Structure 1
């Protein structure tokens, strides 16, 4: 990154979902899972950061929670980007072209 390095990992869509939607509205994971058409186990994995939010899931969440799919996709992209940046710190590219 160019001067704007993040100090911490962005909030995952799952944490946001739990803290901003499930807890305040007292929605059970099973009820939301049923509403969006996925298993409770899979939604729990998303909430706990073990699964990513897919475009299909983002569309379903947006319809059930009256948000935009981009909200969920942008949050997932921010987490994915951060994770890639962290992984790239350990990676060293190989030379493809000879320099003169």
Structure 2
């Protein structure tokens, strides 16, 4: 049986943007949004966890903060997987295929 490895309660990427990038650089929402080429409202939705990191946003963040787009997408994926696992802890799914030898 396959085991799914999900980071325990990972932060939303918006929290990382605010705490690890904006705060140390003393950036406000307006300055950061302008630098990213997005609206203040769009950035606020991300920072408050009401919107996720799209591939486009991952590219923007990677260029602005000298990171990789994969880092941002992986953070979003871990967050989404954790959230989904909390809403559906006992999914009823029949295993159709196994790579384990009998």
TM-score of the superposed pair, with normalisation by structure 1: 0.81
Q: How many Å apart are 1:48 and its aligned residue?
A: 0.7
Aligned residues, how many? 94
Match of 1:58 in 2: 58
Q: How many Å apart are 1:28 and its aligned residue?
A: 1.1
List structure 1 runs of 4+ shifted beyond 4 angstroms. Answer: 1-6, 90-93
Unaligned runs of 5+ residues in structure 2 are 95-102
The 1:2–1:20 alpha-carbon spacing in structure 2 relative to 1, beyond 3 Å, is same
Q: How many Å apart are 1:37 and its aligned residue?
A: 1.2
Match of 2:30 in 1: 30
SS where residue 24 of structure 1 aligns?
coil
Alignment root-mean-square deviation, CA: 2.3
Q: How many Å apart are 1:29 and its aligned residue?
A: 1.0
User: Which protein has greater RCO, CA pairs closer than 8 Å, 6+ apart?
Assistant: 2
SS where residue 52 of structure 2 aligns?
coil
SS where residue 25 of structure 1 aligns?
coil
Match of 1:47 in 2: 47
Match of 2:69 in 1: 69
TM-score of the superposed pair, with normalisation by structure 2: 0.80
For 2:4 and 2:72, the matched residues in 1 are separated by 26
SS where residue 67 of structure 1 aligns?
coil
